[in-house]
């Protein structure tokens, strides 16, 4: 125990004596004192002095037994009573010779249910929404990293692809052999996966959740269940925002992963080394790996170890003892409790040390208390000073990008997204690419966005590097569908086939190119969603035959199956002109550090002569100009600084080599831009 913890323990004891006439308060303080003493414990399964040592924090239960299983589907195993220490941690040691392949815990309060270890490094699970699970006893780690460590990219230099691992290779057009898997993602000679990142020039990938999650949800319209599911006929959670185990990789993405109901998966823990291999291969190509992590709630329907061990400790409850659901996901995790915070921090450090993960995007980050935010920052930066920490700055009714920035985190900049493309097509709430100044703003607002949306200018961030600029994410309509709806190419409730909408019209292409240019010249890291570079349409597939929305454009496909979510790589070729434009813009950004410079005040602005046009000047080793014109009808005329200027990008092409030369003046076509270098 540290000196600080000893001091806090003494304070708690003195307060207990002073308040001894209040039994409930004494109980609460006793638990607090117990928790403080448990903070230094090495929980889970660890190899210590040639012993296997099992530890679980469960101060409120009367007994805990370790249960060892030879087979993954055994209903019972060898029970070994554990000893409770004064700090609420139960512990038992066995020799490696006495170990089996699987284990769990049981307590009298769990009604005979097997409780997998909250610190499980790998699990075997049966495919139903309860997800009976056991913890896999992995062999000693002998994975060969071939000298790999973290990537060296700076946050401000990142061009991030946000992607769902399975979506990237599961369609036959990907050409991958082990489709939808860690292994398949890094297979060579394919259209999807790592090959696509290399083709486009991305230097980072942000994966939707890879921690073990409940991807099978509750039965649809089953009258025998206490929860009536009339909203999810697919009985799926495709995206993964329902974490079950904070230390284990998702086994559905392993080479043995299947979603057949009733099947057991993860028997040999192979997903562990397969995910490590994927990270290693991405790092070989200089691509940073960011994990989307969910610590604001846990999986809603499975028998979570946190629910079985101590519901009141790990979850925020109402006065009746029911789970709070400000997250909208059924059970808000009590991040502010010391042992919850310990678990979160140790989980992140584990992914960094054991999987070489370069950074994290935190789902619904407003629901993580600030003391935990600071603990995360301190612990992860101690492992890698360049760790990438990005918050989704909303959730549970809160919105706190400025507070996260004050604590050192970057955030998704939804003001950039909304201002450039718009927010709601149904209200004709459109942005800059449509010739509108979003939400009553003027050009000064757009200039602030282009230099990092800083707090001292009325924005959110302390530094431009904290503004993660994007136009599309997994949430809401794709950018392609937003534009289709805005132009009336498809109605909100209209039913179409993919073939009717996937090929971009000239009008759509103009808007996409202008949006892409705005994004790739912004100051701060850039995020691009999967399929964005070809104007992806997300049409609800008629794969189950009972979805009344089949044929409509989908704005929230979290529960859908592969057929709605997967990427059809033939569409990349179909809209190759837009793909080439994005590829060129990424190459320009990567080649010219002036575009990536994140120093406050670095950018200067040029008058465009109208309320819908302006320019940005960046002086470095070379001078780079960006000229933007959102007017849908009239061109914009700019007077150029003296000298000869090479056109790197215009309304038609984007090429880091450049071709055309300009001097004195530049004419920018409607709804387009220029990138010039001297």
Query: Per residue in 369-399, pLDDT tens?
Result: 999 999 999 999 999 999 999 999 999 999 9
pLDDT, mean over the chain:
93
CB 397 within 8 A of CB 379: no
CATH topology of domain 155-593: TIM Barrel (3.20.20)
The percent of residues above 90 in pLDDT, for the chain, comes to 91
Distance CA 21, CA 2 (A): 30
Strand 159-163 and strand 526-529: the pairing is: parallel
CATH number given to 599-677: 2.60.40.1180
Supply φ then ψ for residue 211, to 5 degrees: -70, 145
Bridge partners, 665 (sequence order): 639
Once rounded to an integer, what is the mean pLDDT over residues 465-475? 98
424: helix, strand or coil: strand
121-137 confidence digits (pLDDT tens): 999 999 999 999 999 99
Q: What local confidence, expressed as pLDDT, does residue 16 receive?
A: 39
pLDDT at position 424 is: 81
The Cα 272–Cα 182 span in angstroms is 10
Q: Does residue 422 contact residue 485 with C-beta atoms inside 8 Å?
A: no
- Per DSSP bridges, beta strands 204-207 and 288-293 are parallel
Element (H, E) at 8: helix 3-18
pLDDT at 2 over 60: no
pLDDT at 18: 42
pLDDT digits 0-9 by tens, 252-283: 999 999 999 999 999 999 999 999 999 999 99
| Strand order across the 44-48 sheet | 44-48, 51-57, 89-94, 83-84
What is the Cα–Cα distance from 188 to 185, expressed in whole angstroms? 9
List the beta bridge partners of residue 394.
399
**Angle in degrees, CA 171, 172, 174, rounded to 5:** 75
SS (H, E, C) 538-550: CECCCCCCCCCCC
CA 478 to chain centre: 17
Residue 179 in this model has a pLDDT that exceeds 70: yes
Strand order of the β-sheet with 264-265 is: 78-81, 65-69, 102-106, 133-136, 123-126, 264-265
Per-residue model confidence (pLDDT) at position 29: 45
């Amino acid at each position: 125990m540290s000196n600080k913890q000893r001091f806090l323990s003494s304070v708690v004891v003195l307060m207990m004596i002073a308040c001894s006439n209040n039994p409930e308060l004494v109980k609460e303080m006793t638990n607090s004192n117990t928790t403080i003493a448990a903070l230094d414990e090495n929980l889970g399964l660890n190899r210590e002095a040639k012993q296997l040592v099992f530890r679980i924090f469960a101060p409120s239960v009367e007994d805990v037994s370790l249960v060892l299983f030879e087979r993954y589907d055994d209903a019972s195993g060898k029970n070994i009573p554990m000893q409770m220490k004064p700090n609420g941690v139960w512990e038992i040691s066995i020799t490696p010779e006495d170990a089996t392949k699987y284990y769990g815990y049981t307590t009298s309060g769990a009604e005979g249910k097997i409780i997998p270890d909250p610190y499980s490094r790998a699990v075997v699970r049966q495919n139903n929404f309860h997800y009976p699970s056991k913890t896999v006893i992995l062999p000693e780690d002998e994975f060969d990293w071939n000298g790999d460590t973290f990537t060296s990219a700076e946050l401000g230099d990142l061009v991030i692809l946000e992607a769902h691992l399975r979506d990237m290779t599961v369609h036959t057009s990907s050409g991958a052999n082990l489709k939808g898997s860690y292994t398949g993602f890094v297979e060579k000679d394919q259209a999807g996966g790592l090959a696509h990142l290399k083709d486009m020039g991305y230097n980072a990938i942000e994966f939707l959740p890879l921690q073990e999650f409940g991807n099978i949800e509750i039965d649809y319209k089953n009258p025998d269940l206490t929860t009536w599911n009339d909203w999810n006929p697919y009985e799926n959670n495709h995206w993964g925002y329902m974490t079950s185990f904070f230390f284990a990789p998702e086994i559905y993405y392993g080479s043995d992963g299947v979603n057949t109901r009733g099947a057991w998966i993860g028997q040999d823990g192979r997903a562990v080394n397969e995910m490590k291999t994927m990270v290693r291969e991405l790092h070989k190509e200089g691509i940073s790996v960011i994990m989307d992590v969910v610590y604001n709630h846990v999986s809603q329907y499975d028998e979570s170890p946190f629910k079985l061990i101590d519901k009141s400790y790990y979850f925020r409850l109402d006065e009746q003892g029911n789970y709070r659901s400000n997250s909208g996901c059924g059970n808000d995790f009590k991040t502010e409790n010391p042992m919850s915070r310990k678990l979160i921090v140790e989980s992140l450090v584990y992914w960094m040390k054991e999987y070489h993960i370069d950074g994290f995007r935190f789902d619904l980050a407003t629901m993580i208390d600030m003391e935990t935010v600071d603990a995360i920052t301190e612990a992860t930066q101690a492992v890698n000073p360049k760790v990438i920490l990005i918050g989704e700055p909303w959730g549970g009714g809160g919105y706190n990008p400025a507070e996260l920035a004050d604590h050192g985190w970057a955030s998704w900049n939804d003001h950039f997204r909304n201002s450039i493309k718009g927010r709601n097509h149904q209200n004709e709430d459109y942005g800059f690419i449509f010739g509108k100044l979003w939400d009553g703003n003027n050009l000064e607002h757009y200039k602030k966005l282009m230099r990092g949306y800083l707090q001292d200018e009325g924005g959110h961030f302390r530094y431009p590097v904290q503004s993660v600029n994007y136009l599309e994410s997994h949430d809401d309509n794709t950018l392609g569908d937003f534009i289709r709806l805005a132009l009336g190419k498809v109605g909100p409730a209209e039913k179409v086939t993919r073939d009717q909408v996937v090929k971009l019209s000239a009008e759509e292409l103009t808007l996409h190119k202008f949006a892409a240019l705005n994004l790739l010249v912004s100051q701060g890291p850039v995020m691009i969603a999967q399929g964005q570079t070809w104007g992806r349409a997300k049409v609800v597939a008629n794969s189950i035959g009972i979805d009344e929305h089949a044929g409509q454009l989908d704005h929230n496909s979290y529960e859908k199956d592969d057929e709605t979510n997967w990427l059809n790589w033939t569409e990349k070729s179909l809209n190759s002109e837009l793909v080439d434009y994005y590829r060129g813009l990424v190459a320009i950004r990567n080649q010219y550090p002036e575009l990536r410079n994140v120093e406050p005040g670095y950018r200067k602005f040029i008058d465009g002569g109208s309320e819908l046009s302006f320019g940005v000047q960046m002086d470095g080793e070379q001078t780079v100009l960006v000229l933007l014109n959102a007017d849908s009808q009239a061109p914009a005329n700019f007077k150029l600084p003296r000298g000869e200027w090479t056109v790197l990008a215009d309304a038609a092409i984007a090429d880091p080599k450049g071709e055309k030369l300009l001097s004195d003046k530049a004419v920018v076509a409607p709804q387009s831009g220029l990138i010039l270098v001297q």
